[in-house]
Chains A and B, each alone.
Chain A
Amino acid sequence: MIPAEQQTKLIKLTVNGETRALSVETHWTLSKVLRNECGHTGTKEACGEGACGSCTVLIDGVAVPACMVLAVEQEGKEIETIEGLSKGGTLHPIQEAWLEEYGAQCGFCSPGMIMSTKALLSKNPDPTVDEIKEAIGGNLCICNNYEHIINAVRSAAKKMAKEQGRG
């Protein structure tokens, strides 16, 4: 057994635009560090093995289950969590769409589902229903609220297009 102090490493993590120094154990996952060390408990963990997407965050714009990557490997990368979406109390259009379309039932999958949606819409601002299904195919909603979620993604795409003058 390796003593705990030999397993720790000092890293700099950039989360939602803020860089902070953290002492982490080398085997800690990003989801664990985000939740326990950074206090970003919006990142939910439901399976711990990349099977449900609850802990999805964006790493350099790519949707990644944070339970499947180590925190020590994230230095120098831009991490975005659900807490980074709303600015100054104003909800992001995806969050607005989620509320309008009743995208959350119990809400446990919502942060991850919303982050997957953000990744999708940044690459593909006008996705088809099949493209939406594929993009959130790795995010489980145990409440099975998928039809509402798909509507929310479509509505979000429209809102974002309008914001950017494309709508």
Chain B
Amino acid sequence: MDKMTSVGKSVRQKDGRSRVTGEARYYADFLFPGMLHTRILRSPYPAAEIVSMDTRAAEALEGVRLVMTHETYPKAFRKSLYYVGDLVAAVVAVDETRAEEALELIDVEYKTRKFVLDLEEAIKPDSPQVFEGEANCHDWAFHAFLSDRDPETRLFKTKTPSDYNGFGDIDKGFEEADVIIEQKGLKYAYCKGPAMEPRGCTAHFDGTKLHMHTHSQGMHDEKLCLAQALGISASMLNYVSPFTGSSFGGKNAFPLDRNIPSHYLLIASLACLDLKKPVHCGYSREEEMVSGWSRGSLTDVKIGFKKDGTLTTMDLAHWQETGSGGDKYPAKNAMLATGSVLYSHNCQHLRGKIHYVQTNRFPAAGWQGYGAPEGVFAVETTMDIAADQMGMDPVALRRKNCMRAGDIDSGWDALGYISGYISSSGIRDCLDVGSKHLDWKNTWEHPNKKSGRIRSGLGVAIFAMGAGRPGPGNSSEAMIKVFPDGSASLVCAIADIGQGQHTVQCQIVAEVLGLPYKKVGIVCHDTDSTPFATLVANSCGTWIQGWATYEAAMDAKRQVLDLAADKLGVPAEALTMGEGGICVTESPEKCVSFAEAFGKRGHYGGIHEVIGHYVNNSPHPNGFKDGKKDQVYIPKEKGAQFISLDVDTDTGMISNIRVIMAQNVGKALNPKVVEGQLLTSRHGVENAVLGNDCIVDKRNGWLLTPNWVDYRHATAMDCDVEPLVIEKPGDPTHPFGATACGEGAACPSLAAFSNAIYNAIGVRLIETPFTPERILMGLGKIKAKGRKK
């Protein structure tokens, strides 16, 4: 591996050609003769019961093939409705126009219930309940106290269920602290998880099997869930997902949970199976806008320090909105920003109380960072205040306390390990490189030295994010086929949602086999043709699939070398494999081609392909420290983000935004792919300054920004992002020393923005988005708006 030929190169995207020619087929591009189209009738009320429905007129309309309601399709529809946009009924017709016309003919009588549209209101004991008989606010079910630390390994040995996550003695920690900084009520707005291609699917029954064409983050898992939800055998269902038009976590489908926004799958499948016709069910942008929200949190933080800035104690209380029963798991990731991971180096006493809260807003789904950005926002703004109060440089305070390789990760992912070792960090390197890039030492000034209408600010925040799940039940498989013409195929189900996994996995194969990258193809079309891969979440692709791909390629290589060894009469260890075939390493003139190595082959037999296979049951053996199975390495995404901006103190407008995103990726398997991942930092700009917020009409729960005009995404014109890819070798948990990269870029932005704004104008904003109105209120130039009574 000394001289790598594929890994580490910015080779072209494996399936890039079809993406730039329009040949790539996303789910909506599968058009079948006689295909029927679906439109969905959605709830106009945030909380209601369906009293009665009359669908006769809709059913009688020419071109209508099926009307689906909770009475006829209880698997897909419910009588109770929990948000504006919840599903009431669907019409399947010969075209969308007919289906839409029929929707208007469905007569529904609703009985409305009381509703709640705000996280803080929903927490109150007298709040209307989103789900009857169930409190809106839930404590995290896996809170645990860690104790009994092994003096030698430093790992915790005992995990006790508790009403909070923590270790040490929180009261003692604050008693002994010299400096205590506390912030309450930090709010990260509920934001729409981004998706270029709206949700949807096309179901096609071929006479024996249902083929589900859709986007996917993990087609095998989604397939099994769908089969189970439909009540059909898994062997009857093929999940087809060659391309996904971005997902960022949000489009991960889970049709078994009625609250998760993947209803199109059940609707199209049920209609297709009953009508035996292809059925398309694609969401419009407006429908997409009521599906899959994220962020949305309220956090209190208190941090204790020694005089010299050593962080000893941290207390965090965190409430995370899930909308109407959406994904509840992101809440736990707020812990990543605490002494459990990011500040694990010095933190001795920790308490984290995690809650998730239901409202009658749109159901939550995962999104890049999956809860980590909210925790980072709270902790990293508090760290900035601490630096200010202690008279320390914000970068220096972080350098002193941030996690380092070998520190103890006591994250509370229920993975079967009480704690583990952080496999690599490099945050201090990221801080150094970013500071140098911005000439921080000479350009950073305290806000009290700034004046004038336009004031510049610099802010920084660091982050840690999960990266692969080193616990039981997380696995991926790969199959490598080597052909007699010297080409190879990777057969696997890793989803490429834009993050480049198809490309980097093929690079791994090319590197191991010694073949040119262009000679490695990929089969990743559907579940029928691939073995299982875990869903791409927690930035695990390079890690969990990467090992499977690597080991499968090694397996294939061993087999080919064995075949060649027979032909050349030398041991396999004496051989080298490359583009031209297999040669004796010490006598490169002695070679056999792949075809010669494979032996005689005819139409009726012989070796037509050599197949290598591997199941990576995470963690891979290299994921244990010194091979000890109770000492696991836990990989992380980690880095630092710097924001430079100007604030207009007359208008509250922010301009000249520069985002410098520095991340240690261990080894960039494909530098351009990695840069692309860091460019996704722009989502933070959207959340910070483009007004991203879930603005609903308080009277009726309607989303007031149900499109991309009113709910803004960043364009090329909104800011500049400068990716700084740091490659610090030595992470033992990956065959090439790579650590994950994907979700990290979403984590630090809001804290870095708040810190930069403070640095510019001396106003601390703790509620996102950072609108001109909030800036002007902070400056005392306008007063908070209040309803006149």
Contact = CB atoms under 8 A, between A and B. Distances in A.
Q: Do A and B bind each other?
A: yes
A99 B285 contact: no
Interface string B221-254: 0000000000000000000000111111000000
A51 B707 contact: yes
B716 A148 contact: no
A106 interface: yes
Given A82-B21, A110-B20, A148-B675, A142 B713 contact: yes
Contacts of B715: 133, 136-140, 146
A13 interface: no
Interface string B671-687: 01101100111110000
Contact of B672 (A49, A54, A111, A148): A148
Given A102-B13, A110-B19, A110-B20, A148 B676 contact: yes
A146 B198 contact: no
A27 B98 CA distance: 13
Contacts of A95: 17, 20-21
A152 B101 CA distance: 44
A164 interface: no
Given A36-B31, A99-B13, A132-B716, A44 B26 contact: yes
Given A83-B21, A99-B13, A148-B672, A41 B28 contact: yes
A165 B20 CA distance: 25
Interface string B768-779: 000000000000
Given A100-B12, A108-B26, A143-B246, A91 B716 contact: no
A43 B22 contact: yes
B31 A46 contact: no
A116 B745 CA distance: 28
Interface string A7-45: 000000000000000000101000000011001111111
A44 B101 contact: no
B426 interface: no
Interface in B1-29: 10, 12-13, 16-17, 19-26, 28-29
A111 B675 contact: no
Contacts of B555: none
Contact of B16 (A35, A99, A114): A99
Contact of A41 (B29, B673, B682, B723): B29
B714 interface: yes
Contact of B679 (A27, A49, A140, A148): A148
A146 B22 contact: no
Contacts of B98: 4
A76 interface: no
Interface residues of A, number: 60
A122 interface: no
Q: Please tell me the size bucket of the interface on B.
A: 35 or more
B616 to A, nearest CB: 25
Interface stretch (B138-146, B189-197, B307-315, B730-738): B189-197
B499 interface: yes
A72 to B, nearest CB: 15
Residue of A46, A140, A142 with highest tally of chain B CB at under 10 A: A142
Interface string A29-73: 000000110011111111111011010000000000000000000
Given A46-B196, A51-B709, A143 B680 contact: yes
B16 A98 contact: yes
A40 B714 CA distance: 28
B63 A4 contact: yes
B708 A52 contact: yes
B500 A105 contact: yes
A137 B680 CA distance: 17
B162 interface: no
Contacts of B101: 1
Nearest to B105: A1
Nearest to A82: B22
Given A46-B285, A105-B676, A108-B26, A51 B708 contact: yes
A145 interface: yes
Contact of B22 (A41, A101, A137, A145): A41
Contact of B497 (A4, A40, A106, A149): A106
A3 to B, nearest CB: 8
B97 interface: yes
B22 A111 contact: yes
B679 A147 contact: yes
B716 A102 contact: no
A107 B24 contact: yes
Contacts of A121: none
Of all A-B residue pairs in the complex, the 8 with the closest CB atoms, nearest first, are A42-B22, A106-B498, A107-B19, A108-B245, A144-B682, A105-B498, A82-B22, A41-B29
Given A35-B29, A106-B245, A137-B717, 7 more contacts: A4-B62, A4-B97, A27-B97, A104-B16, A134-B717, A142-B248, A147-B720
